[in-house]
Amino acid sequence: MGYNGIISTKYRIVGVGGCGCNCLNWIQEREQIDSGYVVIDSDTVALDKSPVRRKLRIDYTAHGKSVADKMAAVSLAATEMKDRIRSSVAGNDFVFLLAGMGGVTGTSAAPAAALAASEAGAVSVALVTMPFTFEGKKTRAFAELGLDNLGQYADTVFCVENDALLRYLGSDRNMNMVAEAGYVFFYEAILTLMDTVNTRGELNVSLIDVKNILSGHRLGIIGMGESTGGNFPTSKAMTEALDGYFLKDNLEQAASILVVIRGADGPLYEVNTAMGLVNDRIGDGTLVFNHVISDSSFMNSVRVVIFAVYQCLA
């Protein structure tokens, strides 16, 4: 069959544990279509309630009562069901794993899911939250351990601090709003990456580029910014993406930076100036990738998403 002008990169989103499944439930309810999402959890009630059709239950028996005992049991059970996870994600270029680090299930089962995705031939990209400070030091320590484990199996782990979501929204917001801000952030990140590989840009990054940027056990952070009207909207959106709560300011150590800009034709002339802001922050060894899409539906606004990836976690 010849090329028909439509490139469509296949991807699948998988939620692991409470946070990951909540996020996927939110995506499913918003999209109202079954895009082959998969929820994986040990919580039967939560799985029953999920609107996502493909559900995998982790059935585990812990040999002790401590969190560490439960984590070891979940990790073993998830590894034992790796073939089922692999079948559920087969045939995709990318598998996006969503999980909250710090609890038992997502923290312990996400590495096996990442391995299953890699074995199925996909680039596995994990998007995870790190616990709020108020959840305590012990939860933080489990989350850090989980992040290290996940980094050994996922191609890239993008991390968002729940504290940063709180700061971003301000203190008068309730927990549901904070939780939802995380879902929006992750979903925007996934859609932007898929938009990058599926929509040709004036400045273009290919599927192979994106696979290379995200492959090979990297730790990543993401920044987003948007600006409407006025002078230099691209630079304003870029500054917001660079200085926002989700992008660490130390970009000097980044191995690669992917900058995706989408906006109306007019403001894009100042891409050069806006990219200068990025180049001022990065190190000599940072590779820069640019994807710029002109989109007349954006009227006079510009949206910038920056993906920064760092070297090996392991």
Ligand X SMILES: Nc1nc2c(ncn2[C@@H]2O[C@H](COP(=O)(O)OP(=O)(O)OP(=O)(O)O)[C@@H](O)[C@H]2O)c(=O)[nH]1
Stretch that binds ligand X, among 97-105, 190-198, 243-251, 289-297 (CB under 6 A): 97-105
User: What minimum distance in Å lies between the beta carbon of 112 and ligand X?
Assistant: 13
User: What minimum distance in Å lies between the beta carbon of 139 and ligand X?
Assistant: 6
User: What minimum distance in Å lies between the beta carbon of 70 and ligand X?
Assistant: 7
43 vs 119, beta carbon nearer Mg ion: 43
Please select the residue that binds ligand X; options are 42, 118, 196, 227, rule is CB under 6 A. Answer: 42
Stretch that binds ligand X, among 99-107, 200-208, 226-234, 239-247 (CB under 6 A): 99-107
Alpha carbon distance, N-terminus to C-terminus of the chain: 42
Token duo for residue 216: 């090979």
Q: Is 149 in the site for ligand X (CB under 6 A)?
A: no
User: What minimum distance in Å lies between the beta carbon of 8 and ligand X?
Assistant: 30
Report the distance separating Cα 305 and Cα 307, nearest Å: 7
Token duo for residue 136: 């305590």
Please select the residue that binds ligand X; options are 12, 25, 118, 131, rule is CB under 6 A. Answer: 131
Residue closest to 182 by CA, chosen among 127, 220, 237: 127
Which H helix or E strand runs over 271? Answer: helix 271-279
The residues pairing with 161 across neighbouring beta strands, listed in sequence order, are: 130
162 binds, among Mg ion, ligand X, none (CB under 5 to 8 A by kind): ligand X
Report the distance separating Cα 172 and Cα 188, nearest Å: 24
292 binds, among ligand X, Mg ion, none (CB under 5 to 8 A by kind): none
Stretch that binds ligand X, among 12-20, 191-199, 227-235, 283-291 (CB under 6 A): 12-20
74 vs 259, beta carbon nearer ligand X: 74
Report the distance separating Cα 156 and Cα 127, nearest Å: 9
18 vs 263, beta carbon nearer ligand X: 18
Helical ranges in 154-232 per DSSP H:
162-169, 175-198, 207-214
Q: Is 146 in the site for ligand X (CB under 6 A)?
A: no
User: What minimum distance in Å lies between the beta carbon of 106 and Mg ion?
Assistant: 7
User: What minimum distance in Å lies between the beta carbon of 98 and ligand X?
Assistant: 10
Residue 37 CA: distances (Å) to CA of 16, 32, 96, 165, 237: 11, 12, 10, 25, 31
Q: Is 18 in the site for ligand X (CB under 6 A)?
A: yes
Question: What are the residues whose beta carbons fall under 8 Å from the beta carbon of 14, sequence distance 6 or more?
Answer: 20, 24, 37, 38, 39, 40, 85, 88, 89, 95, 96, 97, 98, 113, 117
Q: Is 287 in the site for ligand X (CB under 6 A)?
A: no
User: What minimum distance in Å lies between the beta carbon of 263 and ligand X?
Assistant: 28
Contact call for residues 83 and 111 (beta carbons, < 8 A): no
DSSP E strands, 106-192: 123-130, 156-161
Q: Is 234 in the site for ligand X (CB under 6 A)?
A: no
Contact call for residues 188 and 224 (beta carbons, < 8 A): yes
Q: Is 103 in the site for ligand X (CB under 6 A)?
A: yes
19 binds, among ligand X, Mg ion, none (CB under 5 to 8 A by kind): ligand X
User: What minimum distance in Å lies between the beta carbon of 100 and Mg ion?
Assistant: 9
159 vs 278, beta carbon nearer ligand X: 159
Report the distance separating Cα 173 and Cα 270, nearest Å: 36
Helix-then-strand count for the chain, H and E: 11, 10
Binding-site ranges for ligand X (CB under 6 A): 17-19, 22, 42, 100, 102-106, 129, 131-132, 135, 139, 162, 165, 179, 182
